[in-house]
Amino acid sequence: MIRRVGVVGCGLMGSGIAEVVARAGYDVVVRELSAELLERGLGRIDASMRRAVERGKLDEAARDAARARIRGTTALEDLAGVDLVIEAVIERMDEKKAVLGALDRIVAPGVVLASNTSSLSITEMAAATRRPDRVVGLHFFNPVPVMPLVEIVRGLATAEEVVAAMREFAGRLGKTVVVARDTPGFIVNRLLIPYLLDAIRVLELGVASREDIDTAITLGLGHPMGPLTLLDFVGLDTTYYIAEAMFQEFKDSRYAPPPLLKQMVLAGWWGRKSGRGFYEYG
Ligand code: CAA
């Protein structure tokens, strides 16, 4: 029975996950590396819940109750008593393995360790723990409170009962579940990343302006955002990490980050989060 959930990382994804889990009635312990990062992450949760109240998605009493269920910490050891952990740290295998290896020694033996990775191998992460059968992918989409999908990723060693437990848990969060095998990008990013990279190539080739590329896709295909706006929203750094990981695995040029993407990442133009990407943000 899941009552308390640990969330590791309170960035864009971790804060959204902590919010959604608390709004579904679970107690949440969320861990960040420093007090400053934690404060920023909890501030993001407050802002998002304020928006949900303004939009009539949440009443004030439910907001206050959800907020009271979230406890922040900078000590991973504070996750000792949780019934489920969801990690949402930076998209790098060495970091993921270090966190899961440490959690494996902190939380009780049967507890599921879920990763919000968008492209890295669950099987490889699981091998860094003594409970590979309890390690699973639980991939949320940005903005987490709004996007209704969760991808469950079954690693080579993931137990079927763990997939079933995550299916039930995601359902309680109000999410629709799809299940994928542990292959780079799973379902959504397998299709999304080549599309986003192609949009950058179209811009690089001078086929059209950034505005016209985005307008073409929003109005011509009915997408809520054009690809360059979506890249700024997801983060160019995150997209670059995902594309690199997929390219390393498949050695297929479709996944190779275009030079412009790499240059923008090196320049610190990471999209909305840094104030500049394909567009400028105030
Ligand atoms: N809590 C609950 N609901 C909220 C909310 C919150 N904090 N904030 C907004 N909402 C609701 C709004 O009430 C609104 O609902 P209704 O349509 O029922 O009124 C809805 O969410 C849309 O919100 P807004 O009107 O504020 O914003 P918008 O219409 O401009 O849409 C958007 C914003 C939802 C981000 C939309 O542009 C969109 O869907 N963009 C695409 C996002 C996307 O593709 N995300 C996936 C990225 S890939 C990823 O995450 C995975 C990866 O691994 C890279």
Question: Which CATH number belongs to the domain containing residue 132 in this structure?
Answer: 3.40.50.720
- Domain membership of residue 282 (yes or no) is no
Cα–Cα distance between 206 and 105 in angstroms, integer? 53
Q: Whose CA is nearest to atom 2 of ligand 1?
A: 52
Catalytic residue among 151, 204, 209, 249: 151
Question: Smallest Cα–Cα separation from 153: which of 142, 166, 143, 144?
Answer: 166
Q: Whose CA is nearest to atom 43 of ligand 1?
A: 142
Query: In terms of domains, do 148 and 205 share one?
Result: no
Q: Whose CA is nearest to atom 33 of ligand 1?
A: 224
pLDDT, position 137:
98
Q: Which of 131, 164, 181 is the last residue of a domain?
A: 181
Cα–Cα distance between 200 and 29 in angstroms, integer? 39
Query: In terms of domains, do 85 and 211 share one?
Result: no
Residue 266 identity (one-letter amino acid): L
Q: Whose CA is nearest to atom 54 of ligand 1?
A: 234
In the residue annotation, 15 being an active-site residue is answered as: no
Cα(175) to centroid of ligand 1, in Å? 14
The count of structural domains within the chain is 2
Query: In terms of domains, do 29 and 165 share one?
Result: yes
Cα(32) to centroid of ligand 1, in Å? 25
Query: In terms of domains, do 20 and 115 share one?
Result: yes
Cα(110) to centroid of ligand 1, in Å? 35
Query: In terms of domains, do 14 and 73 share one?
Result: yes
CATH number at residue 221: 1.10.1040.10
Q: Whose CA is nearest to atom 5 of ligand 1?
A: 52
Catalytic residue among 15, 116, 118, 119: 118
> What residues make up the domain containing 50?
4-181
Query: In terms of domains, do 102 and 222 share one?
Result: no
- Domain membership of residue 233 (yes or no) is yes
DSSP label at residue 276: B
With the most atoms of ligand 1 within 8 angstroms of its CB, the residue from 57, 59, 246 to mutate is: 57
pLDDT, position 152:
98
In the residue annotation, 151 being an active-site residue is answered as: yes
Q: Which of 129, 147, 181 is the last residue of a domain?
A: 181
- Domain membership of residue 281 (yes or no) is no
In the block, residue with structure tokens 């990382």: 9
Exposed, middle or buried by CB within 10 Å (0-12, 13-18, 19+), for 2?
middle
Query: In terms of domains, do 145 and 207 share one?
Result: no
With the most atoms of ligand 1 within 8 angstroms of its CB, the residue from 21, 146, 175 to mutate is: 146
pLDDT, position 91:
87
Q: Which atom of ligand 1 is nearest the CA belonging to 238?
A: 54
Taking 50 as the pLDDT cut, the residues of the chain under it are: none
Query: In terms of domains, do 168 and 202 share one?
Result: no
pLDDT, position 197:
98
- Domain membership of residue 263 (yes or no) is yes
Cα(131) to centroid of ligand 1, in Å? 35
Q: How many CB atoms lie within 10 A of CB 75?
A: 10
Query: In terms of domains, do 24 and 102 share one?
Result: yes
pLDDT, position 282:
85
Tokens of residue 225, six digits: 């955002």
Q: Whose CA is nearest to atom 37 of ligand 1?
A: 224
pLDDT, position 101:
98
Helix or strand or coil: residue 137?
A: strand
Catalytic residue among 87, 91, 121, 139: 139
Q: Which of 162, 181, 200 is the last residue of a domain?
A: 181
Name residues contacting ligand 1 (CB within 6 A): 48, 51-52, 55, 57, 118, 141-143, 145-147, 189, 224-225, 230, 234
pLDDT, position 225:
98
